[in-house]
Amino acid sequence: MDRPGGSDAEDFPAFDEVLAGRIAGCLEASGEVSAHGRAAALGETYAELDRSGRRRFLALLATRFGPEPADVETAARGWLDATSAADRVAAERALRNALAPPYIRLIRQLSTMPNGVKFVVDLRADLMPIASSTPELGSLDDHLKEILAAWFDFGMLELQRITWDSPAALLEKLIVYEAVIEHSAHREVYGVALVLFGFVPFSLVDRMLGRWADDAPRRTPPPSRRRRRDDR
């Protein structure tokens, strides 16, 4: 796909149609494997776009793949006209379905890619500066925020210490991390991951051990420790 950018983006009127076709292809995929492959390809396309192209993508996602107004109106009328408890429950279900944007399914598909959680986080970061420009983009931002809040709930996070017995791919990431920080033998490194996606850490926590080893260089204790010692 051609990659529009800056003022050149206006010179590609077919860009939106091609992109819309790819999004629709993801949503219409009949099998999980097919949907996953198409979502991964769409994610790669998005990653190659510049800021202008990404904003066009987000606007397209919000406007063409949001709730269908006619379906929402029909469902709302059904709820207003419901006379029994059973009818109201059914009408509420229909209204919830009508209000659920198709792009939510796409976001969930994108989250299953390698580094998919980070992709969705970056997607919202790209959206936030323009979220207030239209109601549709604002609604897309609300949905992304709700999805991420559910994923990053405290109960959905797993903290696991990384040791030499950890998978090789994880140790490779740690080696890169170690290259940019001061090395110390008195440290423990933990990975933070979402339980939903297995132990694929999106963050590393570096914990300095609190004990002073005999062979470690002595350093001035922090003020809180100095005060406790002085009080004795």
Give the chain's mean pLDDT.
76
Residue 89 lies in a domain: no
Inform me whether the pLDDT recorded for 10 exceeds 80: no
Q: Domain check: are 216 and 106 in the same one?
A: no
Q: Domain check: are 186 and 117 in the same one?
A: no
Among the listed ranges 126-135, 171-180, 196-205, which one has the minimum average pLDDT value? 196-205
Domain finish residue from 89, 117, 151: 151
Q: Is the pLDDT higher at 106 or at 167?
A: 106
Inform me whether the pLDDT recorded for 7 exceeds 70: no
Domain finish residue from 111, 129, 151: 151
Give the total number of structural domains in the chain: 2
Percent share of the chain, pLDDT over 70: 63
Q: Domain check: are 134 and 197 in the same one?
A: no
CA angle 78, 134, 137 (to 5 degrees): 75
Q: Domain check: are 170 and 142 in the same one?
A: no
Q: Domain check: are 36 and 106 in the same one?
A: yes
Q: Annotate the chain with three-state secondary structure.
A: CCCCCHHHHHHCHHHHHHHHHHHHHHHHCCCHHHHHHHHHHHHHHHHHCCHHHHHHHHHHHHHHCCCCHHHHHHHHHHHHHCCCHHHHHHHHHHHHHHHCCCHHHHHHHHHCCCCHHHHHHHHHHHHHHHCCCCHHHHHHHHHHHHHHHHHCCHHHEEEEECCCCCCHHHHHHHHHHHCCCCCCCCEEEEEEEEHHHCCCCCEEEEEECCCCCCCCCCCCCCHHHHHHHHHC
Cα–Cα nearest to 201, from 136, 139, 115: 115
> 209: domain range?
155-231
Task: Convert the pLDDT of each residue in 208-219 to its tens digit.
Answer: 544 433 344 444
Q: Domain check: are 137 and 208 in the same one?
A: no
In the beta sheet, which residues pair with residue 192? 159, 203
Alpha carbons 73 and 51: distance in angstroms, whole number: 35
Residue 130 lies in a domain: yes
Q: Tell me the CATH number at 62.
A: 1.20.140.90
Q: Domain check: are 28 and 105 in the same one?
A: yes
Task: Convert the pLDDT of each residue in 58-105 to its tens digit.
Answer: 999 999 999 999 999 999 999 999 999 999 999 999 999 999 999 999
Task: Convert the pLDDT of each residue in 42-57 to its tens digit.
Answer: 999 999 999 989 999 9
Q: Domain check: are 197 and 146 in the same one?
A: no
Domain finish residue from 135, 151, 167: 151
Q: Is the pLDDT higher at 4 or at 173?
A: 173
Residue 83 lies in a domain: no
Q: What is the sign of the dihedral through the CA atoms of 119, 122, 126 and 127? A: positive
Residue 86 lies in a domain: no
Q: Which of 149-175 are b and which e, b meaning 16 or more Cβ less than 10 Å from the residue's Cβ?
A: eebeeeeeeeeeebeeebeeebeeebe
Q: Domain check: are 176 and 108 in the same one?
A: no
Q: Domain check: are 47 and 140 in the same one?
A: yes
Q: Domain check: are 159 and 227 in the same one?
A: yes
Residue 32 lies in a domain: yes
Sheet containing 203-208, strands listed edge to edge, beginning at the edge strand earlier in sequence:
157-161, 187-194, 203-208
Residue 85 lies in a domain: no
Q: Please state the pTM of the whole predicted model.
A: 0.64
Among the listed ranges 74-78, 163-167, 181-185, which one has the minimum average pLDDT value? 181-185
Residue 183 lies in a domain: yes
What's residue 155's pLDDT? Answer: 65
Question: What is the band of 149 on the pLDDT scale with cuts at 50, 70, 90?
Answer: confident
